[in-house]
Structures are given as C-alpha cells and as structure tokens.
Structure 1
Amino acid sequence: MQFILLGSTASGSSRNGGRPGHRTPSSAAPRIPILITCSNETTSEFHTCPSAATTCPSPSASSSSSKQRPAPSTTTCPEYFRFIHSDLSPWRDAGITREAVERARDKATFRLVVVAGRAYVDKYRPAFQTRDVFTLWGILQLLARYPGRVPDLDLMFFCDDTPVVHAAAYPDPSVAPPLFMYCKNDSALGIVFPDWTFWGWPEVNIRPWAPFLEEVERESRRVPWHYREPYAFWKGNPDVGGLRSDLMRCNGSDWNARLVRQDWEDADRNGFKDSNLAKQCTYRYKIYVQGRTWSVSQKYILACGSPMLRIQTSFDDFFSRGLVAGKHYWPIDADGMCPSIKSAVDWGNAHPVQAQRMGEEGSSFARDELSMDYVYDYMLHQLAQYARLLRYRATVPKNATELCLESMACPADGRAGEFMMESREKYVADYEPCSLPPPFTLYYKVGKRVGEVGSKVKRMEEQEWKET
C-alpha cells in the first residue's frame, strides 16, 4: 500500500520567500552591536543594570523615530503563529484585568513586568533546575534584539510541565487566569511560550538551539540516511511518564526498535560523552514520546533528518501545532505502539525514497520554520498581542527585581555562563519581524487531514498483520 505524503499546503510552510535563520542585514548601514559590560568582580557595581538613559525607550516613547525602522516585512510567519490568536482567544473580547493576572499568582513560578523596555521579575517559587533562568534570559535577548518593540506588559509564567488551568473549571473562559506555560492540551487554557532549552539546558549539557542546529547538520551529513541503521531509535529517561515505560517493552529486533535508558547522573559523571543529541542521528528513524506531558526532545529529533515516529500525544508546545502527520512525522498509535513502530520501520525500509523525504521535511521544518529568527518573532508577536488585551497600565511590583543582560550574564559561570554567551544576540535586528497571519479559518480542515493520515496508517498496519 502506497503512503502519500501530504502536500505543502497542509503544513503552512513559509519556505517559499521565507526568512532563513539570522538573516543577512538588508542595508549597508553598520549593524548596532548588543553590548554586555561586566564590572570588575570586586567592585560594588558588579551585577548592576545600566541606567535608564542608556536603555531603549518603550514603543510609545519611540514612535517619533518609527520612520527610521526598516520597511514592513513581506515575509509571512509560519502557520503555527496562528495559534497565538487561539491561545489568547478566551480574553479577546473582555480583555485582561489586573485582578485576572493576580489570580494566576498561586500557580505561577514568576511574574514578569516590562515597563519602558526594561524587565522586572518577581519570583514566587523555585523552578526545576534553571528553567526560569534561561526563559528569562531568552526574554532579555528579545528585548535587546527588538529594542523599543516589546510593549509594557504584566504576565505570570508557569515553568512546570503539567498545565494547571483547566478549561472545565471555567465555563466562561474569559474569567480564567491568563498564564504563560511551555505546553498544553485541549483540556487546558494557557498561553504557550517557547521553552527554556532554546537558550540551552546546562544541567544535561544540551547546547542552545542555534549552535545545535549547526552541529546536527554537520553530524547528519557524516552518515547519510541510506547508511544509517535501519531501526527506530530512542534514548531518554523512561521514568518520567507511563508512555515511556510502555515504549521500553518494544525494545529488540522483534519490533525494529533500539531503545536506550538515559541515566543523566551517570552521563554527568562521564562528562556527557555519550549523550550528545547531535551525534544520535545514526538511525533511519527516531522515536518521539512525551514525558510527563510534552518533551523538549521533539525539535532535536526533527533536526536529525530521519523520519520522526511520533507516539500519539495530546500535548503540544508552541511549534508542534504546526507539524503535519504524514509530512513531518509518522504517527504511532499509543495503544499499540510496538507493532505500530515495527510497521513504520518496515514500510520506510521498503519505500526509502518516501521515508527519506519525510525525514528531510522534518529537518527542514526544524531548520527553517523553527530558526531562532522565528522563535524571537513568535515571542514578539505573542507578547504584543497579549499586551493589547491588558485593561490596565503595567507597573513594577513592589518586590520585583530588575533584570538585564549584565545582571544575568556577569555572575553566571560554568556551563550556564557558557550557554548564555553562546545564545546571546549580538546585534540589534535591522529588519522587521515576519508578518503575523490572521486567526485560523482552516484549523479544522488541517485537524481532519491529520486524523485521516492516522486512519490510513492504522489500515496499513492491520493489512500488514493479516499478510504475516
């Protein structure tokens, strides 16, 4: 049975005329560098932020100089940007009051306020490892990259995995507390934001996304797809979710799978010699399975150029909502994952041209649609749309601390400091962000098509088992 990949219209790909990562400046004018000035460690001024006179004004204050900005972008953002409208739709009509934001305090990890282009944070509870640190670092990069473009705002951020604002608890969604988070499913309300690993995950030695993409492209070329091991590969911690425990039962030649338990403590002791994700592209197929909810591993798997076998999940992060079954990945039935994985591998090995094409579509999405340019553009559009809904003027909380590049980067050392330097923006953007597309009109058509692909795969599997 022939498996037909979906056309590009289903993916919302903007590769035609799209902007690749870190575009070349469009004018001959000198680029404006983003400087980080660390004082001598022994002085009392260490870790302090520059004075207001040296920072960029807020959008309203800088409107008189808007004529100096580049011409509006002719590039439309990738299709998954439309979910910005979807995430904010509960508050679209009534807006967001200060009281609504305050109601999210008991769930939030921190509160972020931006006033006149300067960032302030009020931390409520510890985050796991450095999730909050690198999320805030990413927001500071946005402020530096697009100075004067992030409006005044006030938001609550949740740094854990499991969504905590349940739609069933709010028959009127407009009264739900607006909460930023890394993922959600259809039963949750929330505003999905890029996760911290785009700027690095020092505890497990995962590099920032931009240098990782460069490294994985080099490593992928070392072992072309046809020369990779003809099995499905997964390596990770199986103890963080039931689906992962179930997946480990599929290990071995009977199911065409090679599954490896990742012990991060042991990896740390060994200097992470065998856990470089960029060097795990030696198998023809890579398995994605959620952790407690979603997993940050999905983008690294996509980048390999091997078809991603995506075990059915209800959780999505901000970009995975733009992935299309049958084009960017092969759907795997969570209730029968072992035979489903075997069937996918058997089909791919029997149809190498189509299988390789799927792997290339996935890696192209990771490289082009998920470049750091687009990550920052997503953040900018999302925060701007959110700020428009605020029905009050954002003010600095009493217990908030100002954050700036210096206050975060100067005291950072070890791998955290290294990743901050690797992921920092070096120049102010001399081009406009991509143009935000309007809200969805074809969302249900895309969803229906994804369902059709899943049904087709299921029929293929049933037919294969009848013939064996």
Structure 2
Amino acid sequence: GALFMSEFKSRSKWGDSKRWYNAWALLELLETYPGQVPDVDIAINGADEPFIGSQELFRVGTKPDGRAIKGLRPWNVSQARSPPPLFSVCRDANNVDLLWPQYNIWGMDWTGMGMREPPWCVQFPMLRRTWLRKGITHRPGKLFWRGQLKSNPSTRGAMVRCRTRLLPKAGKRRIDVEVNGVVIRKGGGSMPGVSTRGGKQVSASARCNAKYLLHMEGRSFSLAQLPQAGCGSLMVMGPHRYYTPIERAYRANGFFLPVQLPVYNPGGDPRAVVERGACENVSAAITWAESKAPGGGADASAAVAAEAAAWTELELS
C-alpha cells in the first residue's frame, strides 16, 4: 500500500516536521507487528484540525454566476456509502476522522525553550520510576498545567486569575497553580492578575511532582496528556472540543476529575460572575480530592489515580 499525507506548511518552531512524525508512528506500527498490518493505502491528515465531516458536503446545483450550490446528506445515502478513511491526530463531535497517535513532541529539540525530551520509549520508564518513588498521597496538593498562555489565553489566563485574584477576593481556598513557562504574580497588562513574563520550562519528569495535572486544550487539541498520563497523578479535565486517542480513553474510563473551566471576561461583563463560579468549582473539586475516603486512609483522589496509572502502564508503556 501507499502512504498519503497532506501538505502542511507551518511557520511554527516545528516547521513541516509534523508529517514525518506521523509517518514515524506508522513505521513503529509496522516494525512492532511485522506481517500483521494490512497492505492497504493509508491517508493521514497533517493539519491540526479534523477534516472529514459527519455528513457529506455535495453539489446540489449551480447558481446563475456559475458557483456551486452545496448541501449536506448522511454518508450512508451518499454515492460513497461511507466516509473516506482519513487518519487525524484528533476529532470532534462534527467529524469522523480516524484517530492517529501524534509523536511530534518526543525526541525533538524545542529550540529556545530550554528543554529536550527523549523519545517515549526512554521517557516513560523515567516517569514510571517517579510515580513509584513518590506516590500521589505523598505529593503536595498542587495543580499543574502545561501550556502557553497565547494558545488559549481566555481559558488558560483565567485559570491563573483564579489563583491571583478571584478566589482570594471571594475568601475561598486558593488553588496552588504551577504553570509551565509563565511566572504567576499579581499585575499584568491586558489581563489583570496574569503576568506574561516568561518563566522556566518544566520538564516532563518535574511535572510528576504535582498531585493534580490540569488538561486544557490550546487553539485546537493539546499534546500534553501523553507525558502527564505517565505521572501517576490525578488528571483534572474540563469539557472538551477535541478528542485524541489518549483523551478518549481517559474520558471513557473515568480516569479524571471533572471540573468547569473559567473564561476570562473584561471587567463590567456580567459573564465575569461565571468566571468566578468556575474557579470556585475547581477549588471545590480539589478540596474533595484532598478529603479522606470513608473510614480514613488515602485521599479520595488516590483510587482514581491508581486506576489511571494501571491502564497507562498496560496501554502506553
């Protein structure tokens, strides 16, 4: 069979290398299961967004100026009878792409970011040693998320504001947030309570010191869940727009603590009350997770984290 990958011209630090890391996943599959992978053509979408809609977009007529008039119809009544099998790194409720693992963050030198992560086959045993050496009940109740503010400033910045402004003003428990590459302090310009001054990047192993790891999407999906899954921490997740292979498994098995996610709104906007309410929801969820299970013993979070760790070791090692 032949491999087809879409062109994806990117001005990011990764350049066009995402396509080759998608191909790397296929090469690993062929080497791991020799002779067992069907000899068929494979098409991989190299963009961040899914492509195949849940219904077929087809031409129903022509406008007087020659432009096409298009409509939607279910795939089972289309000429193709089924959607074309296209693999993508993520999907959402409106698309039916087949999920494909994304490898582009492992073994790459992130120029200018002060860190270099080894391949997953090397990284995972290191993360596993961390969680075995320092179990979740012995870690400080700190909430950590990995990501850049600019990827999703309204939500990611609002989470920082939970700690610096909203919860303290409400007299609620403060969330001890640690953020990758961002210095948390009061102040900030366009978003009060959020400093945009850069901070030191935190390695995959160092993230495992946190008891709670917050998974938040960026402009589209987030790649952070793979390294976070290897920490033995409790994943904290809000509503989603996109699925990746790992996120789908986490949600289907209940390996996470569900929370609302705040969204920053400028002062005077009545939706700011919603932002504060979401912060209080996250605080309440962490408070519950820190509570003792009935009859004493481990925190309520320990059982969920243990199930997730067992699945991770079985499926992702």
Same fold, TM-score > 0.5, yes or no? yes
Q: Supply the AA of the counterpart residue of 1:247.
A: M
Change beyond 3 A, Cα 1:325–1:194: closer
| Cα distance, 1:287 vs structure 2 | 0.8
| Contact 2:290 2:299 (8 Å CA) reproduced | no
**Which structure 2 segments of 5+ residues have no match?**
58-71, 183-198, 263-276, 293-297
TM-score by length of 2: 0.68
Change beyond 3 A, Cα 1:370–1:171: farther
Structure 2 residue matching 1:147: 3-state secondary structure = coil
Aligned to 2:310: 364
Aligned to 2:88: 181
Change beyond 3 A, Cα 1:220–1:328: same
Residue in structure 2 matching 1:171, options 73, 77, 83: 73
Change beyond 3 A, Cα 1:274–1:365: same
**Which structure 1 segments of 5+ residues have no match?**
1-112, 115-119, 264-271, 372-468
Which region of structure 1 is more displaced relative to structure 2, 213-222 or 123-132?
Answer: 123-132
TM-score by length of 1: 0.47
Q: How does 1:414-425 map to 2 (within 5 A)?
A: none
Can you list the C-alpha shifts for 1:231-290, whole angstroms capped at 9, x where unaligned?
222232121124323323223474313132427xxxxxxxx9852111212222111111
Q: Supply the AA of the counterpart residue of 1:219.
A: T
| Contact 2:88 2:98 (8 Å CA) reproduced | yes
How far apart in 1 are the matches of 2:136 and 2:287?
15
Q: Supply the AA of the counterpart residue of 1:158.
A: N
Structure 1 residue matching 2:313: 3-state secondary structure = helix
Structure 2 residue matching 1:134: 3-state secondary structure = helix
Aligned to 1:149: 36
How far apart in 2 are the matches of 1:366 and 1:328?
10
Q: Supply the AA of the counterpart residue of 1:346.
A: T
How far apart in 2 are the matches of 1:355 and 1:367?
18
Structure 1 residue matching 2:211: 3-state secondary structure = strand
Can you list the C-alpha shifts for 1:8-40, whole angstroms capped at 9, x where unaligned?
xxxxxxxxxxxxxxxxxxxxxxxxxxxxxxxxx
Change beyond 3 A, Cα 1:125–1:281: closer
Aligned to 1:417: none
| Contact 1:251 1:259 (8 Å CA) reproduced | no
| Cα distance, 1:325 vs structure 2 | 7.0
Whose helix fraction is larger, Structure 1's or Structure 2's? Answer: 1
Change beyond 3 A, Cα 1:348–1:159: same
Structure 1 residue matching 2:146: 3-state secondary structure = strand
| Contact 2:25 2:101 (8 Å CA) reproduced | no
Q: Supply the AA of the counterpart residue of 1:333.
A: Q
Structure 2 residue matching 1:233: 3-state secondary structure = strand
| Contact 2:259 2:282 (8 Å CA) reproduced | yes
Residue in structure 2 matching 1:318, options 245, 263, 281: 245
**% of aligned pairs identical?**
22
How far apart in 2 are the matches of 1:149 and 1:364?
27
| Contact 1:161 1:293 (8 Å CA) reproduced | yes
Structure 1 residue matching 2:245: 3-state secondary structure = coil
Structure 2 residue matching 1:286: 3-state secondary structure = strand
How far apart in 2 are the matches of 1:331 and 1:304?
18
Residue in structure 2 matching 1:294, options 221, 227, 235: 221
| Cα distance, 1:224 vs structure 2 | 3.1
How far apart in 1 are the matches of 2:104 and 2:163?
28
Aligned to 2:99: 192
Q: How does 1:381-400 map to 2 (within 5 A)?
A: none
Can you list the C-alpha shifts for 1:83-138, whole angstroms capped at 9, x where unaligned?
xxxxxxxxxxxxxxxxxxxxxxxxxxxxxx43xxxxx5566343662221122122
Q: How does 1:30-429 map to 2 (within 5 A)?
A: 113-114=1-2, 124-126=7-9, 129=14, 130-167=17-54, 169=57, 170-173=72-75, 175=80, 176-197=83-104, 200-203=107-110, 205-241=116-152, 242-252=154-164, 254-262=173-181, 274-324=201-251, 327-334=254-261, 336-351=277-292, 352-371=298-317
| Cα distance, 1:147 vs structure 2 | 2.5
Structure 1 residue matching 2:41: 3-state secondary structure = strand
Q: Supply the AA of the counterpart residue of 1:255.
A: R
Change beyond 3 A, Cα 1:341–1:316: same
How far apart in 1 are the matches of 2:315 and 2:180?
31
| Bigger RCO of structures 1 and 2 (CA < 8 A, at least 6 apart) | 1
Change beyond 3 A, Cα 1:291–1:141: same
Change beyond 3 A, Cα 1:152–1:311: same
How far apart in 1 are the matches of 2:128 and 2:179?
23
Structure 2 residue matching 1:283: 3-state secondary structure = coil
Change beyond 3 A, Cα 1:144–1:284: closer
